[in-house]
Structure 1
Amino acid sequence: MAVRVGNVLLVKEMLKDTPDNSQDLGLEGNNFLAHAALKARNTDILDCVHQKCPRLLDVLDEEGMSCLSVGASIGFNRGVRNLLNRSENKVYVSNNDGSFPIHIAMKRRHIYLVSEILKYCPESKYLLNRKGQNILHIAASSGKMDLYFFSYLLGAAARSIFLRDGRFSRLMEKQDVDGNTPLHLATMNWRPRTIFCLLCHYNRKCMATRNNSGLTALDIAEGSMHPNYIFRERVSLLVLLYFYVTSRGFFTRKMFTEKITKPSYPLDADKNKDYVNTLLVVSALVATVTFAAGFTIPGGFNSSGPNSGRATLAGDPKLIFFIVFDILAMQSSIVTISTLIWAQLADPSLVHRSLNTVTLPLLYFSLLCMSVAFYCGVWVAFAHVIEFVAVLEITFWNFLFLMLFLLGPHVIIQIPGIPALFGPYFLLFVLFVDDDHHEQASAT
């Protein structure tokens, strides 16, 4: 209790009559005083315990963890440095489960502590747990590699020790007892940022490595992905397939024949009808709005003269763009409506084929065309107001960018060839994926 509240004077007084270098203080739970001091984040008490009973720093607690592992698990930086300054050999003391302190720090996502341990004991990066996994395996499973992803994008001069050490790239090729490389484990846990980081910073030989089940990372992603739409899974496969096709050179056959992912279906097959009806309503609204816009064009019509009934601004290119995109939006939405009526026949194969092959791409195209038509129409009416046109330009391109991001993973990346040709753009989807979300949901 004195250790937990951090009362250094009381702890010293209570340890005063204890024989020096004693491992057994004669009290129940005495062997874990050093662990309690670490959990209390108090290095002064840790010094007291070490001075009186140094052997207690070598004792495993009731969970089979060493003192250094306890400090690494809670992220106690000063405590870990305190222990490392006393003895670096503690880095090589494993817990009862076969893991080492550096594995615990990596699993708990305390990257600073991992760097500290590597600073004292660089060779500890080669330590393996009972599953034959090094710290790169554990980092790939936990998804902590997103830190290096952001450092890569920002062009940070000071990279982590992972990137400065050239020998680290060889760790990526190592296989655990199941034959899995870090890339396999990142794919199994759907860590798109980690996959991106591994394939950007390290060699890509492991993409062809097969585990004990004969599967590559791409095989795992394609075989394990759920048919319903899970954004993290789709982006993980996008990253894998992009690096797969580009690593073999541009303009290969697979670039234009391989789809980025499976078609996405609603979670519940019984909800297919509601899903179709929702798309039908949206398509009908687009068709109605664009049909009405075609007869209320900006500038109106000439009411007299030889050009009576014709558009007043017929010679303006911006008006022509307005009409073209308005017509495209209306026609695409009408075809979408026709396809959705076909899907109402309730044949599952018809529903899936119509949704993923025709309906979603056309509806997406009609929404984009309607947006462009509106932009051109407003531009025609306010072309003389320079300030307004500048604001309109900014808002339009921002909106278009958001539209591509909101519906892009759902529609565009299913088209063969898109991941290869426009991969760098779609890799930005990685920014919108939270690698921690899956782990947090499981804990809840």
Structure 2
Amino acid sequence: MTRNGTIGSVLIATVAFAAAFTVPGGFIADDRPHAGTAILASRFAFRAFVVTDTMAFLCSIVATSFLIYGSAKEIPRGHRWWYSLLASGLVPWGAQFLIGTFALGFHLVLGSANRGLVIFVYMVSSAAVLFCFPGIWGPFCLGLWKTIWRRAGWRGLINIHDRPSSLLEFLESLFTGPLMDIRRTLFPVLISVTFVVAIALDIVMPRQ
């Protein structure tokens, strides 16, 4: 799993880095004001493209660092497990943000003249973002949240039953409890909402 995760995170980082310097729409010519800047920089879809690409790159780079550091035998076993746990959350985030970058980049390239095709790209990309890691929806589908809340209350949801002895123990309990599923589903939902906002602005204000 560590080897596969490292390969995946490196590939995501490579693609995200390349996308940052091959922005859709091109750059302003040298003989004009603001030379060298992106032509579509003022559009919402472009700004969202930059944000998703940045998040994809950073999540994958940090995950790669954690996986390399966590696989070293010189590192204590408990620390290795902790770094692997953090990386296991960052790699899916990187993949989901990269899907968002792909869809938003297609939107900028296709433009308003191909709005139907843009909507299709957003629809299939939303499905990919929401369901490419189906395990994150398991607790919601099985109703585990309601059961945990009834039996253990809010302490059960955040996986803290006794007072933590250190900050590391608190974070470990927090990231291994059911509350982790909120963290995993937050960005997929946010990316899908960004798609909706981008296409809505394209219809209402084509140049924004």
TM superposition score normalised by structure 1: 0.31
Q: Are the aligned partners of 2:92 and 2:133 in contact in 1 as well (CA < 8 Å)? A: no
Of 129, 134, 139, the residue aligned with 1:400 is 129
Cα deviation code 1:230-275 (max 9, x no counterpart): xxxxxxxxxxxxxxxxxxxxxxxxxxxxxxxxxxxxxxxxxxxxx2
CA RMSD of aligned residues (A): 2.7
Equivalent position amino acid for 1:388 in 2: L
1:31-110 paired onto structure 2 within 5 Å? none
Deviation at 1:418, TM superposition (A): 5.1
Of 373, 378, 382, the residue aligned with 2:110 is 382
Q: Provide closer, same or farther for how the CA distance between residues 419 and 336 of structure 1 changes in structure 2, counting only shifts above 3 A.
A: closer
Of 363, 387, 392, the residue aligned with 2:91 is 363
Q: Provide closer, same or farther for how the CA distance between residues 295 and 380 of structure 1 changes in structure 2, counting only shifts above 3 A.
A: same
Is 1:277–2:39 an aligned residue pair? Answer: no
CA–CA separation in structure 2 for the residues paired with 1:386 and 1:416: 40
Which residue is 2:70 aligned to? 343
CA–CA separation in structure 1 for the residues paired with 2:110 and 2:15: 21
> Percent of aligned positions with the same letter in both sequences?
23
Q: Are the aligned partners of 2:136 and 2:181 in contact in 1 as well (CA < 8 Å)? A: no
Deviation at 1:404, TM superposition (A): 3.9
CA–CA separation in structure 1 for the residues paired with 2:14 and 2:44: 25
Is 1:372–2:100 an aligned residue pair? Answer: yes
Cα deviation code 1:189-226 (max 9, x no counterpart): xxxxxxxxxxxxxxxxxxxxxxxxxxxxxxxxxxxxxx
Stretches of structure 1 lacking an aligned partner (at least 5 in a row): 1-274, 423-444
Of 1, 7, 12, the residue aligned with 1:286 is 12
CA–CA separation in structure 2 for the residues paired with 1:403 and 1:417: 20
Stretches of structure 2 lacking an aligned partner (at least 5 in a row): 140-174, 185-208
Q: Provide closer, same or farther for how the CA distance between residues 418 and 354 of structure 1 changes in structure 2, counting only shifts above 3 A.
A: closer
Off by >4 Å, runs of 4+ in structure 1:
406-410, 418-422
Q: Are the aligned partners of 2:13 and 2:56 in contact in 1 as well (CA < 8 Å)? A: yes
Cα deviation code 1:414-437 (max 9, x no counterpart): 554256999xxxxxxxxxxxxxxx
CA–CA separation in structure 1 for the residues paired with 2:102 and 2:5: 21
Equivalent position amino acid for 1:318 in 2: A
Q: Are the aligned partners of 2:56 and 2:93 in contact in 1 as well (CA < 8 Å)? A: yes
In terms of fraction of residues, the more helix-rich structure is: 2
Is 1:298–2:33 an aligned residue pair? Answer: no
Which residue is 1:319 aligned to? 46
Which residue is 2:120 aligned to? 391
Q: Secondary structure at the match of 2:132?
A: helix
CA–CA separation in structure 2 for the residues paired with 1:290 and 1:393: 19
- How many matched pairs? 146
Higher relative contact order (CA 8 A, sep 6+): 2
Is 1:334–2:61 an aligned residue pair? Answer: yes
